């Protein structure tokens, strides 16, 4: 009988060979992404994927391999391939036709923040090219792009638990940047400590204001007497707790980042909503062009006249053209003129491409029934409500 150590050695070698094959596959994905970008071909080809999966399932069955395992494995591979292609296409467009050797990215916090993880998710096909810049504020992220200190920035804009991040919406009103991409990231808030400690000993909780708000129910129930201290980012909270080394202090942050700061997760997934997803936008100084064959989202702002039915007329512009509005928010107008202190700026996300005649026509009509109209960006749509 084969010695178990020898069998395990063979398995290890096979697993390494599988990884090497995946690496070769990823190299082929780069060529496919470049070809699709040059020729305006959609990233997702459902017919091709379905047909190829059926072929693989038939081969797996003939080889005695579980069809369920095969389907699960290749569905994950296909999903990763699409993600890689979208990221590469973003890089191609941002560099005006050639992949950037280095991509300078600004995000909130430092290594281990949710924005850090979102950045690496979006750019994971080209991680080796990233030059990272952690920022203390949203304004710093935007300014770094405006001043050519970064090629792009990652900004959280809304969360399924706490809603829109108003500060980002307000900053975008006058920012000299364009939205060039988007992604969603699953948030897992955990209670992190320097060492295992009893719940009853915890007196101080450090975190960014958003996680504290998103975990309010658990915190009220389990730590009603605790003092909450807000930080500029969850990573700052983790740094503080790691430095204190106190059984009375904990941080609320990304559980996956705990090892980076030598912290111990005490409680996991404590958010009010167990499905806790943050949508991030990618910003750049130059706008990008999305091929019309790729599903695109356009973000814009507009103001309305202070009279009955003004907003209805705006909505009709899109409705009559069968353009889906997937996001509509209002915020106080920044820099209002005297007498317009209560004027509102509306933010809208629509599923449409600025390169198409239908949206161009809608924008012309929109300018007739609104005040200021500003296109924040047109980019590949990857986060659509009820479809993401």
Q: Rounded to an integer, what distance in angstroms lies between the CA atom of residue 194 and that of residue 115?
A: 22
Using the CB atoms, write b or e for 275-296: b if 16+ within 10 Å.
Answer: ebebbbbbbbbebbebbeebbb
Span 103-187+277-282 CATH architecture:
3-Layer(aba) Sandwich (3.40)
- Residue 26's pLDDT is 79
Q: Rounded to an integer, what distance in angstroms lies between the CA atom of residue 52 and that of residue 46?
A: 10
CA-nearest of 226, 198, 213 to 164 is 213
What the block records as the tokens of 221 is: 């129930």
**What is the model's pTM?**
0.70
How many other C-beta atoms can be found within 10 angstroms of the C-beta atom of residue 304? Answer: 19
Residues of the chain with CATH 3.30.70.260: 289-380
Residues of the chain with CATH 3.40.190.10: 103-187+277-282, 189-267
Predicted confidence band at 341 (pLDDT cuts at 50, 70, 90)?
Answer: very low
Answer yes or no: are the C-beta atoms of 203 and 217 closer than 8 Å.
Answer: no
Judged by average pLDDT, the poorest of 38-47, 166-175, 291-300 is: 38-47
Predicted confidence band at 34 (pLDDT cuts at 50, 70, 90)?
Answer: low
**Mean pLDDT estimate for the chain:** 86
- Residue 170's pLDDT is 92
Pairing of β 227-230 and β 204-207: parallel
- Residue 87's pLDDT is 60
**Largest interatomic CA distance in the chain:** 89
For range 321-331, the mean pLDDT: 94
List Cβ neighbours of 23 (8 Å cut-off, separation of 6 or more). Answer: none
Q: Does 361 score more than 90 pLDDT?
A: yes
Answer yes or no: are the C-beta atoms of 261 and 317 closer than 8 Å.
Answer: no
Q: Rounded to an integer, what distance in angstroms lies between the CA atom of residue 246 and that of residue 242?
A: 8
What the block records as the tokens of 321 is: 């053209």
Residues of the chain with CATH 1.20.59.10: 18-94
Is pLDDT larger for residue 338 or for residue 361? 361
Convert the pLDDT of each residue in 175-214 to its tens digit: 999 999 999 998 889 999 999 999 999 999 999 998 999 8
CATH code given to domain 189-267: 3.40.190.10
Span 18-94 CATH architecture:
Up-down Bundle (1.20)
For range 48-55, the mean pLDDT: 87
Answer yes or no: are the C-beta atoms of 278 and 184 closer than 8 Å.
Answer: yes
CA-nearest of 185, 183, 218, 189 to 202 is 218
Judged by average pLDDT, the poorest of 186-190, 254-258, 304-308, 336-340 is: 336-340
Q: Rounded to an integer, what distance in angstroms lies between the CA atom of residue 85 and that of residue 93?
A: 12
**Above pLDDT 90, what percent of the chain?**
49
Span 289-380 CATH architecture:
2-Layer Sandwich (3.30)
């Amino acid at each position: 009988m084969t010695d178990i150590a020898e069998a395990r050695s063979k398995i290890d070698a096979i697993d390494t060979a599988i990884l090497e094959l995946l690496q070769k596959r990823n190299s082929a994905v780069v060529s496919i992404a470049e070809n699709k970008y040059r020729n305006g071909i959609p990233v997702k080809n459902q017919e091709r994927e379905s047909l190829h999966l059926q072929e693989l399932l038939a081969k797996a069955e003939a080889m005695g391999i579980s069809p369920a395992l095969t389907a699960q494995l290749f569905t994950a591979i296909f999903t990763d391939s699409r993600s890689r292609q979208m990221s590469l296409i973003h890089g191609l467009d941002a560099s005006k036709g050639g992949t950037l050797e280095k991509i300078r990215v600004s995000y909130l916090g430092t290594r281990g923040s949710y924005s850090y993880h979102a950045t690496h998710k979006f750019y994971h096909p080209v991680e080796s090219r990233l030059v990272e810049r952690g920022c203390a504020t949203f304004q710093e992220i935007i300014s770094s792009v405006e001043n050519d200190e970064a090629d792009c920035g990652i900004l959280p804009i809304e969360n399924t638990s706490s809603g829109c991040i108003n500060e980002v919406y307000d900053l975008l009103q006058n920012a000299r940047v364009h939205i060039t991409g988007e992604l969603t990231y699953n948030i897992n808030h955990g209670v992190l400590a320097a060492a295992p400690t009893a719940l009853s000993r915890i007196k101080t909780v450090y975190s960014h204001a958003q996680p504290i708000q998103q975990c309010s129910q658990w915190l009220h129930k389990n730590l009603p007497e605790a003092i909450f201290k807000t930080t500029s980012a969850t990573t700052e909270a983790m740094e503080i707790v790691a430095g204190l080394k106190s059984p009375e202090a904990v941080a609320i942050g990304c559980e996956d980042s705990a090892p980076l700061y030598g912290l111990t997760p005490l409680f996991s997934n404590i958010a009010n909503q167990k499905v806790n997803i943050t949508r991030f936008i990618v910003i750049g100084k130059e706008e990008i062009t999305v091929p019309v064959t790729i599903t695109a989202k356009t973000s814009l702002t507009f103001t309305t006249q202070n009279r009955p039915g003004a907003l209805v007329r705006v909505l009709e512009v899109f409705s009559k053209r069968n353009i889906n509005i997937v996001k509509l928010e209002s915020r106080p107008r920044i820099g209002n003129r005297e007498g317009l202190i209560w004027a509102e700026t509306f933010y809208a996300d629509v599923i449409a491409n600025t390169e198409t005649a239908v949206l161009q026509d809608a924008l012309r009509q929109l300018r007739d029934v609104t005040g200021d109209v500003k296109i924040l960006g047109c980019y590949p749509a990857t986060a659509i409500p009820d479809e993401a």
